[in-house]
Amino acid sequence: MDRMLVVVFDNETTAYEGKQALQQLDTEGSISVYGYAVVAKKADGSATVKQGDDVGPIATALGTSFGSLVGLLAGPAGMALGAAAGMAAGSTVDLDNIRVGSDFIDDVQKALSPSKVALVAEIEEDWTTPVDTRMEAAGGTVYRRALSEVQDKVNEEDVAAMKADLAQLKAEHAKAKADRKAKLQAKITELDSKIQGQLQRAKDRRGEAQRKAQERVKVLKAKADALKAKAS
């Protein structure tokens, strides 16, 4: 199961121990790690991303889920790494891109208090015991959440409501006098643009999900080939 993992530690030393343990689990084949970063919260509440050039095996290909979460937790300091990991440069964090519930984000932000350090990772795991055992041994508190699937359809009720409004505006436009037509046409154009925007965002997310699935297959195949070569 694909999951977003955040492990909160008391200091950088134990956080790096946790990162090494995560990498070991990946090497052993217990889990697959798709991206990781270490985020340190300073005493004044600001944050830094440690080892910003070390974002995991295919973080760039993974897109916005990992990058957006790092950007959210680290604030401005995380935006560069977030962009490297697939978040649009200069963009604000879109919570929908992270694909976890707001309650998970709230829990993590509360736990990542000043002077704490978090190991953030996007992983695939069949069961939780290997990660939990190793992270707890390093002194970490584990937060994880399964990544929600990207829906093929936009919010049907929302789009249906907008289309109903659009139909009403067009009906009024057809009967309106000349001095009113221009104002109604402006509203029609604006609403139609919003509808097309929602449809395009849904299409983009479907495309992103397909690309990420293809990259994961490549990584898992490479790992399987490496294990096979090592065994022979």
Per-residue pLDDT of the chain (232 residues; tens, 9 = 90+): 888 899 999 999 999 999 999 999 998 889 988 888 899 998 888 888 876 444 444 444 445 677 778 878 877 554 444 444 444 333 444 555 667 777 788 899 999 999 999 999 988 898 899 999 999 999 999 999 887 654 444 466 677 888 888 998 999 999 998 888 998 999 899 999 988 887 787 777 677 667 777 777 777 777 778 777 877 7
Q: Are residues 117 and 193 in the same domain?
A: no
Identify the domain containing residue 173 by its residue range: 156-231
Tokens describing residue 21: 């343990």
Q: What is the 3-state secondary structure (H, E, C) of 88-125?
A: CCCCCCCHHHHCCCHHHHHHHHHHCCCCCEEEEEEEEE
Between helices 64-74 and 102-111, what is the axis angle to 10°? 40
Last residue in a domain, options 128, 146, 164: 146
φ, ψ (nearest 5 deg) of residue 142: -95, 135
- 172, burial (CB in 10 Å: exposed 0-12, middle 13-18, buried 19+): middle
Q: Checking DSSP bridges between strand 31-41 and strand 117-125, what pairing results, if any? A: antiparallel
Tokens describing residue 24: 């070991």
Q: Are residues 34 and 127 in the same domain?
A: yes
Q: Which helix (H) or strand (E) holds 50?
A: strand 47-50
Number of domains in the chain: 2
Which pLDDT score, from 0 to 100, does residue 64 have? 61
In a domain, 151, yes or no: no
Q: Are residues 140 and 206 in the same domain?
A: no
* pTM of the predicted protein model: 0.64
